[in-house]
Each structure stands twice: as C-alpha cells, then as structure tokens.
Structure 1
Amino acid sequence: MRIPRIYHSEPLHVGSEIDLEEDAANHVGRVLRMSAGQQLELFDGTNLTFSAEITQADKKRVKVRVVSSNADNRESPLHLHLGQVMSRGEKMEFTIQKSIELGVNVITPLFSERCGVKLDAERLAKKIQQWQKIAVAACEQCGRNWLPEIRPAMTLQAWCAEADSGLKLNLHPRAQHSINTLPQPVERVRLLIGPEGGLTTEEIAMTADQGFTDILLGPRVLRTETTALTAITALQVRFGDLG
C-alpha cells in the first residue's frame, strides 16, 4: 500500500510525538483503518517531508512519532496568483483543486458584476474553510509540501488595484496577444479569470487601467473552469516546470 501523505498545521520536529489533527486522524483511523506500527508521510508546509510511525490509533485519536525529515522542494520557479471570479456549484472546488495540482501559489476568490454566486458573510466564511480543506487534500494527493494560500474573497476592482511586481494577465476572447508571445523571462504572474458570463466592458477597461494585459488562449470559447486550468498549464509550460 502506498504510504499516505498527511498535512499537519503545526511545525514538525524529528523525535517528537504528536496527535494528528481531527480530520487527519479520522482519515487515518476510520477511513484507512491504519494501526500502530504503520508508516505515514507528514508535511507541515515548510517544503520538508517527515517519516512518521503510528504509535496509537483508534476511532478518536491517532498518535505518531516523527522519525526523520527530508528536504523535498516541488515548487515551480513561476509564482502564480490566481484571481478567480467565483463560479457556481462544484466548479469553484474543481478549479481550486486542479490549479493547486498545477502549481498555483495563491488563490483569491473574486466578486464581479456578472458573478453568479451570492453568499452572505457566514456562508462565505464556510466556503473559504471548505476550499482550504480542498487545498490541503490536493497537496496531499499531488505531492506538494508547501501549502498554497486561499485568501478571503474580495471585489474584482480591489484585487486588480493591489500592488504586484509580476506580469498581470486577463484572459479575453478578442485579445491580440497569446501566452507564447509574452516576453521571457517571467517569474511572477497575476492571472485573472472572469465569470461564466464574462467581464463587463467597464471591468475590462478597468483591468487595462490597472496594467493588465489581455491574452488569448485560442479560437474556441472555454468554460471558466477550463480557462483557468488551460491558462495555468500554458504558463507553467512556458515559464515554469511543466513539459
């Protein structure tokens, strides 16, 4: 059996004995039904992996001893900040999961004029917590040892106005530039993906005023979740560590 990878939010140290956090303990103890003596791989977001041995496992508690550590940097040289206008249902969850697998460093959920998601503060806070759990699970699955940041949701205009030294890109179906025509090298990208109905004319003009470059992915119109993953993949191929 493949050794399970588990995220632990507190710093890990070789020789220490710790209790796994509630969600991790439930997964190891109840779902995987692992027992004392079996091995786990832990990571704490510091680009280190830790070998650990289960010392106690039952339905309520899983205790492990950290045996050794190893430096394991799997991060792309390209720093990607995704600004994603929130999409309905499971589409947003899918975008977060897959973009993290593809190496995105920061994700900011956005509200725009045509955003189809309407949430009050309480429901939005629960969504953010849910998306953070998805980020953890994506890292456990894909082998990343540094945990990407899921930021609080904000308006499109506020996000575009934030200072950023990187290249700012906005996907647009009538743009004149493509990712292949962007000059090299590029180390940081702030990537804006609009809603299912697209950005308004006024919003597109605002992004241009804030220094965003319109780029085109191809001749076909893509769904918002497809657009995000296609753009991230193309950027990683040209400037990052794919291909």
Structure 2
Amino acid sequence: MELFYALPGQIDRKAGVVMLDGDEFHHLVRVLRKKRNECIVVTDGKGTHFDVCVTAIEKSVLKGAITAERTVARSATTVTVALSLLKAPPRFELFLEKATELGISAVIPMITARTVAQPPGDRITKRLVRWKTIMLSASRQSGRYYLPDIIEPLPFGKVIGLSGYDRKLIPYERSPHTVSDVRCTGGNVLFLIGGEGGFTAEEVLCARDAGFTEISFGRSVLRAETAGIFAVSMVRARLLEQAAGEWL
C-alpha cells in the first residue's frame, strides 16, 4: 500500500477535502499517473489514515474527497536517538534515512565535547529542511503513519537534562552491561550516541549522574551512524520478539 502525506493546511476535515501539491503531487500525477476517481491513502503524519477518492487534478494540485478516516494506534514504545553531528554530513543523513525506516520517533542532533562539525545557524536552518525531507521520503517508503521529529542541535548538557523519558541509555564501549542486561522497550526510550572519538569519560559520568544507564554494543567499535541504527534495530527486534503485534 502506498501512503501519501498531507500537511495540516492541506486537510479540511469539515469539508472532507484533501489537497496535495509539491512532491506528493508530482509522485501521484507524474510518476504513478493517478486519475480522477482513483482511490489513494493519505496520512497527516500524526496517526490518521484517510481513504481518499481523487476528484480533480489541476496544474499543480490534486484534490480528493475523504471517504473514510481512522486513527492508527501508536506503539507503546517510542525511541529517540540523540546523535552527535558528524564530520561527514552524508553519514548523518544515512542514519536519518535508515532509522526512520526502522521506526525511530525522534532525532536530536547533538553537540558533544568531541563534535567536529558545528555549522553556523544559517546552515542549520537549511540542513533541518534537508533532514526533514530525507525523513519524509523514508517514511513514505516504509509506510509510516507517524512522522519522526527532528529539532535544532542541542549541546550535550541540555540533552542529558531533558525530561519525559522512561529509559535513558548511553552506549559505551567500556560498559559491563550487554544488550541482554538492559530493558529497552516500554515507554519513551532515549539513546545517546557519540560522534567521532566517542564520549569523553567526563560526559559518561555526567550522563550517569543524570540517570542514564551504560550499555555495550559489543567489542567492535561501531561508527556513530551504525551505532544509532543498531540502537533502533535492537528495540524493533525486541518488540517483534514479544509477539504482541507491536513494532515501531
């Protein structure tokens, strides 16, 4: 099933109308060659499934009538990864794409003591637009009803002070705790992933004081983006093992 995304302003529930433009219009009309009276599935990225019948195709807008809607339940486990900005932007973008496909709920770009890449504010704005586009494309490909969030970069100190997380984990190569020792499902889960060179010993201590549990991903040293992808994959695998029909 192909899923298409509409912004809040493109959905009029009272009138029962959806209007799609931009990339969604291009994909629907230019690539898939959708015609009037065909049916499509649209979501607002916040868990709503809309059955839509195409009523009109104009120069740059596809209009459709909502024939049915329902809410898709969200997983009881949400995963946020705070990943250090990386020296090579394509590696950070690879993480965004794959983590989105695997079901990540939110990404926090992070600045640590060893973060090499710290772009100025004007570049960050442009990168946020690009990052959101990458995550939207990955969400479309994987058929996600909930779009993951991504915010402006935060310093390490602010990240470890964030509230609202039930489980807070920091992968660290010297940790005695293996993945089988630590519960990583249920509620809101936050992983901290360091960049090139990993975390400093002081940062690990600060995270521990802030309530984070150290966890080892094995003997081999993973690249930052690989560690982030592994963290989301690990949670997804645990959920599938539970045989509860729940995954990210």
Superposition TM-score, scaled by structure 1 size: 0.88
Note if 1:82 corresponds to 2:81: yes
C-alpha separation in 2, matches of 1:187 and 1:203:
25
Unaligned runs of 5+ in 1: none
Asked if structure 2 preserves the Cα contact closer than 8 Å seen for 1:20 and 1:61, the reply is: yes
C-alpha separation in 1, matches of 2:122 and 2:205:
32
C-alpha separation in 2, matches of 1:95 and 1:132:
13
- Cα drift, residue 165 of structure 1: 4.0
- Cα drift, residue 184 of structure 1: 8.0
| SS of equivalent to 1:141 | helix
C-alpha separation in 2, matches of 1:91 and 1:55:
42
Correspondence for 1:200: 200
Unaligned runs of 5+ in 2: 241-245
C-alpha separation in 2, matches of 1:126 and 1:235:
31
Letter aligned with residue 108 of structure 1: I
Asked if structure 1 preserves the Cα contact closer than 8 Å seen for 2:167 and 2:184, the reply is: no
Letter aligned with residue 8 of structure 1: A
Asked if structure 2 preserves the Cα contact closer than 8 Å seen for 1:29 and 1:58, the reply is: no
Letter aligned with residue 154 of structure 2: M
- Cα drift, residue 149 of structure 1: 1.4
- Cα drift, residue 163 of structure 1: 2.2
Asked if structure 2 preserves the Cα contact closer than 8 Å seen for 1:14 and 1:68, the reply is: no
Paired residues for 1:143-162 under 5 Å: 143-162=143-162
Asked if structure 2 preserves the Cα contact closer than 8 Å seen for 1:15 and 1:67, the reply is: no
C-alpha separation in 2, matches of 1:185 and 1:97:
22
Residues 1:82 and 1:17: Cα distance change in structure 2 (over 3 Å): same
Residues 1:222 and 1:175: Cα distance change in structure 2 (over 3 Å): same
Paired residues for 1:104-123 under 5 Å: 104-123=104-123
Letter aligned with residue 27 of structure 1: H
Asked if structure 1 preserves the Cα contact closer than 8 Å seen for 2:105 and 2:149, the reply is: yes
C-alpha separation in 1, matches of 2:189 and 2:12:
31
Asked if structure 2 preserves the Cα contact closer than 8 Å seen for 1:45 and 1:145, the reply is: yes
| RMSD of equivalent CA atoms | 2.4
C-alpha separation in 2, matches of 1:59 and 1:115:
46
**Which sits farther off after the overlay, 61-70 or 213-222?**
61-70
- Cα drift, residue 78 of structure 1: 1.3
Instruction: Please list every run of at least 4 consecutive aligned residues from structure 1 whose deviation after the TM superposition is greater than 6 angstroms.
Output: none
Asked if structure 2 preserves the Cα contact closer than 8 Å seen for 1:30 and 1:59, the reply is: no
Correspondence for 1:101: 101
| SS of equivalent to 1:76 | coil
- Count of equivalent residues: 240
C-alpha separation in 2, matches of 1:164 and 1:91:
28
Asked if structure 2 preserves the Cα contact closer than 8 Å seen for 1:178 and 1:215, the reply is: yes
- Cα drift, residue 185 of structure 1: 6.8
Asked if structure 1 preserves the Cα contact closer than 8 Å seen for 2:165 and 2:187, the reply is: no
| SS of equivalent to 2:89 | coil
Residues 1:184 and 1:139: Cα distance change in structure 2 (over 3 Å): closer
Letter aligned with residue 176 of structure 1: P
**Which sits farther off after the overlay, 233-242 or 64-73?**
233-242
Paired residues for 1:1-243 under 5 Å: 4-10=2-8, 11=11, 13=13, 16-73=16-73, 75-87=74-86, 88-183=88-183, 186-238=186-238, 241=246
Asked if structure 2 preserves the Cα contact closer than 8 Å seen for 1:179 and 1:235, the reply is: no
- Cα drift, residue 108 of structure 1: 0.8
Letter aligned with residue 92 of structure 2: M
Letter aligned with residue 3 of structure 2: R
- Cα drift, residue 14 of structure 1: 8.0
